[in-house]
Amino acid sequence: MDRGRNGSPYDRGRADSYYDRSRAPHWYPEGTYKGTKIAAEQMTPEQIEEYESGYDWNEVYGGKKD
């Protein structure tokens, strides 16, 4: 999985943390808000791990939107 790709599970996890949203694994294969949103129930364990990794990274090293 390309962590830097817009819409990836990692990207969505970082964004949810940045905007101070609760954890809700998801991603967009065609880019953020493009095409079909893939919810946690449809994600592989690896994709959920990527989402969690992005969320956790932002919690430790990132910022929050004011």
Number of domains the chain is built from: 1
Q: Is this structure's pTM higher than 0.75?
A: yes
Per-residue pLDDT of the chain (66 residues; tens, 9 = 90+): 677 799 999 999 999 999 999 999 999 999 999 999 999 999 999 999 999 999 999 999 999 999
In a domain, 1, yes or no: no
In a domain, 66, yes or no: no
* Whole-angstrom distance, CA of residue 7 vs CA of residue 28: 5
Bridge-partner residues for 54, per DSSP? none
DSSP 35: S
Cβ atoms 27, 7 nearer than 8 A: yes
Size of the chain in residues = 66
In a domain, 3, yes or no: no
In a domain, 2, yes or no: no
Give the residue numbers spanning the domain of 52: 9-61
